[in-house]
Amino acid sequence: MKLKVCGMKHSENIIEVSKLKPDYMGFIFYDKSPRNFKGEISELPAAIKKVGVFVNSSIANVIEKVNEYNLQAVQLHGEETPEFCRSVKFHPRLKQRAILESQLKIIKVFSIKNNFNFELLKPYEEICDYFLFDTKGKYPGGNGYTFDWNVLKNYPSTKAYFLSGGIGLEEIEKLELFFKSDASTFCKAIDVNSKFEVKAGLKDIEILKKFKKSAPFFK
């Protein structure tokens, strides 16, 4: 099981989190988010994939950020269409480095509360590399509470997905049970954010360490 730490913002904190060797680090490029990222990303180990998070952004802005930060993946958290996803993935202005080294991955987010219409996934199956399931709430992400994971028992696809939404230390036991169920068959990664923060964008290193060490599915 892979780990994604999202909502990174502060340079020194980015370096400290990178020492924990998460598989993905997420940087939010959304002006309305308190975790909106600006500035430079410190040099990260090659094994850590940089993910840019966007919400109903323009294609031009997404491509600009991919090129500027050499992002390996784009996470689309809004109402982006399959055509939008395709335009980003194969955009002619993508730098060759981004294309050759990372084959830019597209992660499309879908928000869930107590139920979900999985038919919505079908148009995205061909173009998106991963799905991400988050909690439907007031904000596009970082709402701080989980959705009913039992909904994923009805997941009809074989495409790998990320599990997100309010996951913290107190969810370890619940996650252990989830990973024993058929619903978790195609779960590729756990995405964490607000439950590990001192404040928006600043991650608590000790709590992250404890989570990674205590959770058997990371071993």
Nearest CA to 133 among 24, 171, 123, 151?
A: 151
Mean pLDDT of the residues in the chain: 92
Output the pLDDT for position 140.
Answer: 57
- On the 0-12 / 13-18 / 19+ scale of CB atoms within 10 A, 89 is middle
Output the pLDDT for position 96.
Answer: 60
> Is the pLDDT confidence value at 142 over 70?
no
Output the pLDDT for position 143.
Answer: 52
- Over range 12-35, report the average pLDDT: 96
pLDDT digits (tens, 9 = 90+) for 65-107: 999 999 999 999 999 999 999 999 999 888 865 555 558 999 9
The number of folded domains in the chain is: 1
Tokens 């020194």 sit at which residue?
Answer: 12
Question: Could you tell me the pLDDT band of residue 42, with boundaries at 50, 70 and 90?
Answer: confident
CB atoms near residue 31 (< 10 Å): 9
Instruction: For residue 168, give its domain range.
Output: 2-218
Question: Could you tell me the pLDDT band of residue 113, with boundaries at 50, 70 and 90?
Answer: confident
- Please give the Cα distance from 208 to 100 (Å, whole number): 32
pLDDT digits (tens, 9 = 90+) for 194-211: 999 999 999 999 999 999
Whether residue 44 contacts residue 11, with contact meaning beta carbons closer than 8 Å, is answered with no
Output the pLDDT for position 130.
Answer: 98
CATH number at residue 71: 3.20.20.70
- Please give the Cα distance from 16 to 13 (Å, whole number): 5
Output the pLDDT for position 63.
Answer: 96
